Amino acid sequence: MSGFGQGAVALVTGAAGSMGLATASMLAAEGYRVAMADLAGAKLDAAVAGIGASARGFGFDISDPAAVETAFRKIESDLGPVDVLINNAGILSNNKVAETTPDEWRKVLAVNLDGAFYLSRLVVPGMKARKRGRIVNTCSFAMKSGGLTAGTAYTTSKGALAALTFSLARETTSFGITVNAIAPAYIRTPMVEEQLTQAQRDALLKQIPVGRFCEPEEFAHCVHFFLSPLSGFITGEILDLNGGLQFD
Ligand SMILES: NC(=O)c1ccc[n+]([C@@H]2O[C@H](COP(=O)([O-])OP(=O)(O)OC[C@H]3O[C@@H](n4cnc5c(N)ncnc54)[C@H](O)[C@@H]3O)[C@@H](O)[C@H]2O)c1
């Protein structure tokens, strides 16, 4: 069992957002060197500064394949080979099918799905050569429920990300790589606190058996679980993080 942590390089996308930042913080505390990827700007700079020396910020648009390739090469030249990739950047759209414009559809798929593909195609060859790697994708409960509040493009993007998880897991497991995903529901983030109405939040809290929203640190803990050497027999798994909303 080859271990991770202690100097291994983890690339976290959406790292200036709530769940990405909680994950980057946890991985830095566990001894990883963390490449924090997000759109360039003050939010990313502040997130990196908050973690300190073990984090480096890389600002780029995950939906732009040329920008992703340039950034990935820089990350590997600055920090070394990427051992762990957390595909977490994402945008929410709550519009149902008739209200979803073709531009909105393309944008949501480009960020939530294409970005994970662009980074995976760059990181997997090196992981295969080194016979070591972990990939964790942030899916969503929406893909299982059809979207209680989430819209058509978002729900579809996360379902396709689950299929990408299975495809990568099938291809890479015999190379010492695991590829898993997490399907969270309603983490206490701006997506929930700002993009849902108070009435939607009240209704949801009545439906979630645990009786509260999930904390970003609980998501980070799930990521960390997949990175443990003792998780090396788990691949192609979609871990539910939904407070009992649904079992399967
Ligand atoms: N919050 C929830 O309840 C919830 C539930 C299920 C799944 N998710 C998923 O978890 C992930 C993180 O969500 P969050 O709540 O932390 O959201 P967030 O908005 O706080 O963070 C998302 C981050 O992604 C970045 N991002 C957006 N577009 C980008 C692009 N084109 N290139 C690079 N970075 C980009 C944003 O700048 C932001 O910092 C997302 O994939 C989201 O779909 C969230």
Closest Cα to atom 18 of ligand 1: 17
Report the atom number in ligand 1 closest to the C-alpha of 139. 7
* Beta-bridge partner residues of 184: 241
Phi, psi of 5 (to 5 degrees): 75, -170
CATH annotation of 9-234 = 3.40.50.720
Query: What is the predicted pLDDT for the residue at 30?
Result: 96
d(CA 104, CA 51): 33
Query: What is the predicted pLDDT for the residue at 1?
Result: 46
Supply the pTM of this predicted model.
0.98
- Report the pocket of ligand 1 as residue ranges, CB < 6 Å: 14, 16-20, 38-39, 61-63, 88-92, 111, 138, 140, 184, 186-187, 189-192
CA of 14 to the centre of ligand 1 (A): 6
Query: What is the predicted pLDDT for the residue at 3?
Result: 60
Which mutation among 39, 117, 200, 245 tests ligand 1's pocket best, with the greatest number of atoms within 8 A of CB? 39
d(CA 101, CA 153): 10
CA of 111 to the centre of ligand 1 (A): 9
Angle at 112 between CA 106 and CA 118, to 5 degrees: 95
**Residue 154 falls in the annotated catalytic set:** yes
Per-residue pLDDT of the chain (248 residues; tens, 9 = 90+): 446 778 999 999 999 999 999 999 999 999 999 999 999 999 999 999 999 999 999 999 999 999 999 999 999 999 999 999 999 999 999 999 999 999 999 999 999 999 999 999 999 999 999 999 999 999 999 999 999 999 999 999 999 999 999 999 999 999 999 999 999 999 999 989 988 899 999 999 999 999 999 999 999 999 999 999 999 999 999 999 999 999 99
Q: So where are the chain's domains? A: 9-234
Report the atom number in ligand 1 closest to the C-alpha of 186. 3
Query: What is the predicted pLDDT for the residue at 195?
Result: 84
CA of 88 to the centre of ligand 1 (A): 6
DSSP calls for 110-160: IIIIIHHHHHHHHHHHHHHHHT-EEEEEE--THHHHS-SSS-HHHHHHHHH
Chain-centre distance of CA 185, in angstroms? Answer: 13
What's the chain's length in residues? 248
Q: Which residue is catalytic, options 32, 118, 154, 186?
A: 154
CA of 73 to the centre of ligand 1 (A): 23
Query: Per DSSP, which regions of 176-237 are E strands?
Result: 177-184
Query: What is the predicted pLDDT for the residue at 87?
Result: 99
